[in-house]
């Protein structure tokens, strides 16, 4: 069966199960993953595995693996990547909110930027933080602040949520040293300095367009704040009514948020500029995202205990945070399993073949190839890797502009279309208390707007400043 037809069937199954049958997201995603896996032939799996860099023997072994084991492996791979991070992030978020630390940070932000400029502060802050740190980590650390500030003015909840997304999400695909743009730059022989400058320039355009969409969407759709497993709206209101002297100090409140960012950033740049040194070795350990968030979680737990000093309530809050995290891990791992089953159909190879037989302008071609792979299988990084496999051979042949523009077009294309096969879709849905259709409006379409505005910016810049 053609991979495109399998993708369509898998997509129809997950949408039908969630929208019509009203099944839980975990059940719906696993059902769609199983159907997709059953429809995928061993030949397609073998071809996918070889194309992914496996040896013939490894590819043959994967193609002969039963659907149950392949599904389990795919589920486990996603859980291994995000499971510990989500659990730790949930503890940090709950501790920040329950201790009053998030409220203290919000009051500091309001005092520094003023109420009118809060959304811009969130936009620029998340954009800056997401350059060295993965977007999901930035989101985990920012969502408690979004909730704490929105309880004062619930009408701004969607605006602040979208500014965090708009600020952080494009850096993941445009600005090294995150893996996607780093890989693309290396494969195309683009100087990292040029890639960073280009990514920052286009990233500012996309962030601005995302901000404009956020303003429009905030006026058009009402997005209510809802109780989430980590904290209720009533509890947030009680914390917001406290006097500042009853809250933790600003420095200790900021520490669980800033410390992991500093450690992860230190790890990133120590590898780039001080590789092999003792400092680099230290940062390799403490700058690992799991270890950095574990240190932050320990500080946040101590902060929560010093504010409560009551064992029963302390244990209740930590237990609630872990129970909420467990459901998020299940959903995101199921979404990841579905995405990997889609990848094993060989959809990336199929799109490469179609692209080779379909002639169009190089920049839009690179953009739409990446967008097609991202929509089909859910991973922005894999979409970029697939696209560069198609475009790298064309990059050196008669280009009338610097290849950095080709890399940036690929980065912008990787933002389209993020939906239910993307783990970030479910992280945002569950941590923000959204329904699926609300996430599509406030996340998926937001990314589309930013992706297309980025493509337009890249095409204009390549014409005005070809850099050759």
pLDDT in tens, 222-259: 899 998 877 888 888 888 888 888 889 989 998 988 88
Query: Quick one: pLDDT band at residue 311, thresholds 50, 70, 90?
Result: very high
CB atoms within 10 A of CB 459: 17
Whether 279 is in a domain gets the answer yes
Residue 356, pLDDT score: 61
Is residue 171 within 8 A of residue 131, CB to CB? The reply is yes
Partner residues linked to 228 by β-bridges = 231
CA distance 45 to 344: 5
pLDDT digits (tens, 9 = 90+) for 30-76: 999 999 999 999 999 999 899 888 899 999 999 999 999 999 999 99
* 94 within some domain: yes
Evaluate the CA torsion angle 408, 413, 419, 423 in order and state its sign.
Answer: negative
Helices marked H in 225-310 — which ranges?
233-240, 250-273, 278-286, 289-308
pLDDT score, position 392? 59
Chain centre to alpha carbon of residue 125: 16
Write down the pLDDT at residue 395.
53
421 and 335 in contact (C-beta within 8 Å)?
A: yes
Confidence at residue 412, expressed as pLDDT on a 0 to 100 scale: 95
* Residue 357 is assigned to a structural domain of this protein: no
Instruction: Count how many Cα atoms sit within 13 Å of the Cα of residue 349 in the half-sphere of its side chain.
Output: 18
**Per-residue tokens: 276:** 């092999």
**In this structure, is residue 145 part of a structural domain?**
yes
Q: Helical H runs in 151-191? A: 157-169, 171-174, 179-188
Q: Over pLDDT 70: what percentage of the chain? A: 96
Alpha carbons 11 and 16: distance in angstroms, whole number: 9
Residue 295 inside a domain? The answer is yes
Closest listed residue to residue 175, CA positions, set 121, 124, 133: 133
Instruction: Please report, to the nearest 10 degrees, the dihedral formed by the alpha carbons of residues 38, 39, 40, 41 taken in order.
Output: 90
Residue 15 lies in a domain: no
194 in any annotated domain = no
Give pLDDT, residue 396. 52
CA separation for the pair 424, 444 (Å, rounded) = 10
* CA–CA dist 261, 134 (Å, integer): 10
Q: Tell me, yes or no, whether 143 lies in a domain.
A: yes
Q: How many domains does the chain have?
A: 1
- Domain residues for 305? 79-171+229-332
Q: Rounding to the nearest 10 degrees, give the CA dihedral for residues 109, 114, 116, 117.
A: -50
As a whole number of angstroms, the distance between CA 4 and CA 326 comes to 33
- Residue 231 backbone dihedrals phi, psi, to 5 degrees: -165, 150
Cα–Cα distance for residue pair 127/46, rounded to 1 Å? 39
Do 300 and 332 touch, CB atoms closer than 8 A?
no
Tokens 């930027």 found at: 113
Q: What is the pLDDT of residues 348-388, one digit of tens each?
A: 777 777 766 555 578 898 899 889 888 887 878 778 877 87
């Amino acid at each position: 069966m053609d991979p495109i037809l399998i993708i369509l069937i898998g997509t129809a199954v997950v949408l039908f199960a969630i929208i019509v049958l009203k099944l839980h997201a975990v059940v719906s995603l696993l059902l769609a993953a199983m159907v997709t896996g059953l429809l995928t032939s061993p030949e397609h799996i073998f071809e996918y595995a070889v194309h992914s860099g496996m040896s013939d023997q490894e590819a043959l072994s994967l193609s002969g693996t039963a659907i149950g084991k392949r599904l389990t492996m795919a589920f486990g791979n996603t859980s291994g990547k995000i499971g510990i991070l989500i659990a730790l992030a949930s503890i940090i978020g709950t501790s920040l909110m329950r201790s009053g630390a998030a409220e203290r940070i919000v009051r500091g932000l309001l005092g520094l930027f003023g109420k009118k400029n809060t959304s811009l502060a969130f936009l620029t802050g998340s954009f800056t933080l997401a350059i060295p740190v993965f977007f999901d980590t930035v989101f985990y650390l920012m969502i408690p602040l979004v909730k704490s500030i929105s309880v004062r003015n619930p009408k701004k909840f969607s605006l602040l949520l979208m500014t965090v997304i708009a600020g952080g999400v494009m850096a993941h695909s445009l600005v090294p040293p995150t893996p996607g743009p780093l890989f693309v730059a290396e494969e195309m022989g683009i100087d990292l300095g040029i890639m960073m400058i280009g990514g920052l320039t286009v990233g500012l355009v996309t962030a601005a367009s995302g901000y404009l969409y956020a303003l429009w969407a905030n006026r058009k759709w009402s997005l209510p704040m809802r109780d989430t497993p980590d904290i209720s709206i009533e509890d947030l209101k009680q914390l917001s009514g406290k006097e500042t002297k009853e809250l933790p100090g600003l420095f200790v409140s900021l520490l669980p948020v800033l410390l992991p960012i500093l450690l992860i950033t230190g790890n990133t740049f120590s590898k780039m500029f001080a590789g092999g040194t003792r400092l680099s070795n230290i940062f390799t350990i403490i700058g690992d995202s799991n270890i950095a968030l574990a240190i932050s979680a320990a500080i946040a737990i101590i902060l929560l205990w010093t504010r409560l000093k009551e064992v029963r309530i302390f244990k209740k809050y930590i237990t609630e945070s872990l129970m909420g995290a467990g459901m998020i891990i299940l959903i995101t791992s199921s979404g990841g399993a579905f995405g990997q089953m889609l990848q094993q159909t060989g959809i990336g190879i199929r799109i490469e073949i179609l692209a080779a037989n379909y002639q169009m302008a190089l920049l839009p071609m690179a953009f739409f190839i990446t967008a097609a792979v991202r929509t089909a299988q859910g991973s922005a990084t894999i979409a970029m890797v697939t696209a560069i496999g198609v475009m790298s051979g064309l990059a050196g042949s008669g280009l009338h502009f610097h290849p950095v523009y080709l890399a940036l077009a690929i980065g912008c294309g990787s933002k389209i279309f993020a939906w239910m096969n993307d783990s970030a879709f479910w992280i945002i849905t569950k941590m923000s208390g959204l329904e699926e259709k609300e996430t599509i409006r406030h996340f998926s379409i937001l990314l589309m707007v930013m992706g297309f505005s980025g493509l337009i910016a890249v095409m204009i810049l390549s014409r005005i400043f070809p850099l050759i």
